[in-house]
Structure formats: C-alpha cells, structure tokens
C-alpha cells in the first residue's frame, strides 16, 4: 500500500496536464499514416492533431516525437499475468497434459504473495512492450487489481472459476462476485471486472447459468476460454450433441457481453452465433501454436463481423507478454492458414491489437485509436534502430519489424508509465529480485 500511496497523487497530477508530442509520425484511424504531426493531449484525451509547428502553447510538458511513431497503445485481451511464475516450466506438451501435469498441481501451492510479485513482473514486461490495457483472469485477484492500479494500466479483471463438482458452485461464485463488486469502476475507471467461468469443460451448466445471471445483475461481461482444442469440441459433441459455442448459446450465456479466448475450433455456424451475439474473440496465436491447438480461423471470424482482438494467454504457455510479437504471429499464421498473403493486412493486424482490443475490454469508441476525443492511450516507437531502416512504411515496420526495445514511451489517459525506456510507476529492480527469490519453492 505504501507504493500505491506514493504513485496515485502523481498519476492524478499528470492526467490534468496539457501535453505536446511534437513532429511525430502518427498511425491514425484505419492505419492512416500522418507524418510530421503535432499531437496535443489535454485532460487525458487527444484534443488536437495538427501539422508540425501549428500547435499553440503553453504546455505543461513537451516531448519530441521526431524519428518516432506514435501508435495506439496495445491491448492484451486475454492473459493470466501471474503465470509469469510458470514461464519456461514446461515445454513441448499439449494443453491437457500441460494443465494436468505441470500447472494445476503447482497452482495449489500458489500464495497471494506470489501473485502480488509475479503480476507486477508481468506488468513490467507489458509496459516495456507497449501494452496499455489487459484482460486477466486468475486467483488472488485483489493482488492483480492493486498491481494494475499502481502500474497505471487499464484492466478487465476476473476471478477464474473452476468448479467441476456441484459443491464448488456456490463458494466459487461468491468469491467471484465479491471480487467483481469490490473493484468494478475503480482506479479512476481504469479497472472494470468480469465473471470468469474458466471454460465449458471445467464448469457445469448450473454454474454457467448462475454466473450469467450474476453478470447481468452486476452489468459486467463474461470472460472465458472457448473451443481451444479439438478434443474439447469432440468431448462436448459426445456429451451434448453440440459444439461448445452452441452449448453456451443454449445456456443463454451470450445474452451478456462475452469475451471468449481462443475459438480455434469453430464451425461456420459457431462463427455466425459469435457474430450475432457480438461475442468478442481473444485470438492467442502463440499459445495456440506452442500447445499445438491449431490456428484459429481469424479471417472467417473477421469477415463474419466478429470483433477479433489479440491476447498472449499466460506466459506459462506463450512464454511472453509481448503483443508486438503476437501481432506478427497473428498476421503470419492467418496468412498461412488461408495460403493467402492478403488474408490479414497490416492495418487489420494493428486494429486487432489496439481498436478491437479496446472494444473487447468494453472500451469501444473510447480508446484504441489516435483521434480527437479519444483517451490518450498511446506508445512512442523509435524508428532509428537498424532493423527499422530504411522506413518506407511506418505501419508495416511497426507490425513486422519493431521490437519491444524500440518502445520508448507508454502512456494511459495521458499519464506517462514509461518515458525514455524508464519505468515511472513500477520498481523493476525490486520486482525482479523478489520474483527470483520467490520462485525457489517451485523449482
């Protein structure tokens, strides 16, 4: 709490600042590139995008954007931050083997202190790679919420419910409800909450129905895993005669806004159901590839009108929280699946990681693009390094060539979280030292 008290007044101060980012290259709406632009931020929002030299002062703060790209901040639409604890613990397994042999047994040892530090470790990595908001479901979520509040990011947070037996339904729902009620709308509106039955294969119909009812009452969304593996779909078909998407629709789950991670194995009918109910999909290409789940049909989903965002999933399965890497994977796997280089364009790829990610977090029309009236959630990316030269297309370079070390500044609602690669809200040295110490009991 000491750290929180130290940081909050600073964040409040900054959000009232009038700030200029001068002479930068903006990636605007629809991927439009605006060279030599002055960007004015006031009250935490973009209020002016003008040709360089036209911005009128005074400004409380001025940053040179010369030689840099100003891009929308990235949104990680599905992760489990504290699973940084399990990064690299196992490799070369399929999903169920990985969960049953490597993850679920050690998660029983998990403490609030572990989540406190390893979620902060994840936040360090996310800020350093240009992420401004994320959707997270896990355990000890008060710790994750405090970490997000302190770090200054946006977050859609939920307690992950796993209730395979009837006696777990009530206690799990109470835990989820307590967390969701306590944190929704906190941190100056940066934190919102969701209900998260983990998946159709870990929660029964009674829990799903009750969770949907509670989500409707609290006016919050549902965030879950859906159709991640072929085995999940086959088992559900055997048991119910329906696909997991059809099964959740039949239970009325999609009557509340839903964010569904993965959707790798979906039929044409499933795609139509997801589109009709405006279910947002968090596509996690690296995790899906590493666990050999398959390649989600992102082109079909996007063409069918589904809002497809990007997620890293937990670093235990993906190895990384870097959304720049995730964008590249999404674009390349999407093209490979269709054997069509035009299957997913660079503008669509950036939109999945920014505009669609914001929509998946319930922030459609509020942020996710750089335009007047939108919240100033953005990143400055250097163009000077060798791998970004010669620089014909800033958008193509951002999607296919940029590295996280090129991300120089990250801001949310106009508040700087990182500037000149220096983290301003988290103590990276202390966090990494503490995580190295805590991992001892899991080795």
Residues that bind Zn ion in the complex, under the rule CB under 5 A: 313
Closest CB to Zn ion among 81 and 398? 81
Cα separations (Å) of 400 from 66, 403, 406, 426? 21, 9, 13, 29
- Minimum CB separation of residue 284 from Zn ion in Å reads 7
Closest CB to Zn ion among 46 and 208? 208
- Minimum CB separation of residue 225 from Zn ion in Å reads 5
Closest CB to Zn ion among 192 and 317? 317
Closest CB to Zn ion among 320 and 338? 320
Q: d(Cα 195, Cα 289) in Å, to the nearest integer?
A: 27
Closest CB to Zn ion among 315 and 394? 315
Closest CB to Zn ion among 220 and 226? 226
- Minimum CB separation of residue 321 from Zn ion in Å reads 12
Residue of this chain nearest to Zn ion (CB atom): 313
Q: d(Cα 395, Cα 369) in Å, to the nearest integer?
A: 14
- Minimum CB separation of residue 58 from Zn ion in Å reads 47
- Minimum CB separation of residue 282 from Zn ion in Å reads 8
Closest CB to Zn ion among 83 and 370? 83
- Minimum CB separation of residue 268 from Zn ion in Å reads 25
Cα separations (Å) of 188 from 15, 395, 414? 10, 32, 13
- Minimum CB separation of residue 199 from Zn ion in Å reads 9
């Amino acid at each position: 709490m000491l750290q929180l008290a130290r940081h909050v007044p600073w964040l409040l101060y900054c959000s009232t600042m009038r700030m200029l980012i001068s002479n930068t290259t903006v990636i605007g709406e629809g991927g439009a590139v605006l060279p030599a632009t002055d960007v004015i931020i006031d009250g935490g929002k973009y209020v002016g995008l003008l040709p360089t030299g036209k911005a009128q002062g005074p400004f409380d703060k001025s940053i040179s954007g010369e030689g840099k790209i100003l891009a929308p901040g990235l949104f990680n639409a599905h992760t489990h931050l504290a699973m940084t604890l399990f990064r690299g613990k196992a490799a070369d397994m399929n999903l169920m083997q990985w969960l049953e042999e490597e993850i679920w047994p050690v998660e029983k040892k998990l403490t609030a202190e572990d989540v406190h530090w390893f979620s902060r470790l994840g936040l360090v990595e996310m800020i350093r790679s240009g992420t401004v908001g994320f959707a997270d479901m896990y355990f000890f979520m008060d710790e994750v919420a405090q970490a997000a509040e302190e770090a200054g990011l946006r977050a859609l947070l939920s307690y992950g419910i796993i209730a395979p037996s009837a006696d777990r339904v009530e206690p799990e729902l109470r835990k989820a409800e307590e967390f969701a009620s306590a944190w929704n709308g906190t941190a100056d509106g940066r934190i919102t909450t969701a209900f998260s039955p983990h998946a159709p294969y870990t929660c029964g119909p009674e829990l799903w129905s009750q969770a949907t009812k509670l989500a409707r009452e609290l006016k919050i969304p549902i965030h879950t895993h859906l159709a991640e593996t072929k085995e999940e779909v086959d088992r559900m078909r055997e048991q119910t005669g329906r696909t997991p998407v059809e099964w959740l629709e039949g239970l009325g789950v999609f009557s509340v806004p839903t964010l569904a991670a993965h959707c790798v194995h979906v039929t044409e009918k499933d795609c139509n159901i997801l589109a009709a109910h405006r279910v947002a999909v968090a596509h996690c290409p690296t995790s899906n590839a590493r666990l050999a789940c398959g390649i989600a049909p992102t082109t079909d989903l996007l063409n069918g009108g589904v809002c497809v965002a990007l997620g890293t999933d937990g670093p235990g399965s993906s190895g990384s929280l870097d959304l720049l890497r995730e964008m590249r994977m999404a674009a390349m796997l999407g093209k490979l699946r269709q054997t069509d280089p035009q299957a997913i364009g660079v503008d669509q790829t950036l939109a999945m990681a920014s505009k669609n990610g914001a929509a998946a977090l319930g922030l459609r029309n509020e942020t996710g693009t750089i335009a007047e009236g939108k919240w100033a959630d953005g990143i400055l990316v250097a163009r000077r390094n060798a791998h970004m030269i010669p620089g014909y297309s800033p958008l193509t370079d951002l999607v296919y060539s940029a590295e996280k070390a090129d991300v120089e500044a990250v801001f949310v609602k106009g508040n700087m979280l990182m500037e000149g690669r220096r983290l301003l809200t988290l103590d990276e040295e202390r966090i990494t030292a503490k995580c190295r110490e805590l991992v001892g009991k899991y080795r």
